[in-house]
Amino acid sequence: MAEIIFKRAGLEDVEDLQAIAEQTFRETFDHANTEEQLQTFFDEAYALPVLEAEVSHPESATYLVYFGDDLAGYLKVNWGSQQTEHELENAFEVQRIYLLQAFQGQGLGKATFAFAMDLAEQSGLDWVWLGVWEHNHKAQALYQKFGFEKFAEHQFPVGDKVDTDWLLKKRLK
């Protein structure tokens, strides 16, 4: 089996990050959105200046996930002012975990989630939290197995459509 490698993304990686972000989001949510909705979301969330700002921010980290030599996905975490919501005091957000479908079922999801949880544990913060689409029952069940519980909801716009994400939290200490 190929080795799983997590590489912290820098400015030199933003084009690769943009490509993997768009491809994984499309594979995950293509069935629930029009092409126009997806493109509007990509133009807002994954524009190169947006990604450059994210990878440069001191309260955020993005990791490219490699399976051997192949870029298979990415992970984005935030703390402090970079969190997408500020519902919890002293919290660490797992904002994005996306893997290409071609690499799913090979342990990368579990390894990436475990890596994110290690980062959360090392942060010294009180809470770890994440958002998950209300219709993603498989992911919700996985997070519940790891002790996460729902504490709020937020709106997630994709173009002119608005989805609802559940916010799930877990106490770290």
pLDDT tens readout for residues 57-77: 999 999 999 999 999 999 999
What is the model's pTM? 0.95
Mean pLDDT of the chain: 96
CB atoms within 10 A of CB 41: 20
pLDDT tens readout for residues 114-163: 999 999 999 999 999 999 999 999 889 989 999 999 999 999 999 999 99
What pLDDT score was predicted for residue 138?
A: 86
What pLDDT score was predicted for residue 1?
A: 72
Q: 66, 74, 98, 143: which one is catalytic?
A: 143
Distance CA 157, CA 164 (A): 9
Token code pair at residue 140: 């919700």
**Does 98 participate in catalysis according to the annotation?**
no
Query: Which domain, by its residues, includes 38?
Result: 4-171
Instruction: Give the percent of the chain with pLDDT over 70.
Output: 100
What pLDDT score was predicted for residue 97?
A: 95
Distance CA 85, CA 95 (A): 10
Nearest by Cα to 86 from 59, 63, 113: 59
Q: What is the DSSP secondary structure assignment for residue 10, as one 8-state letter? A: -
What is the CATH classification number for the domain harbouring 99?
Answer: 3.40.630.30
Q: Is the pLDDT of residue 106 over 80?
A: yes
* φ and ψ at residue 139, rounded to 5 degrees: -65, -40
Distance CA 111, CA 63 (A): 13
What pLDDT score was predicted for residue 42?
A: 98
When divided into structural domains, the chain yields a total of 1
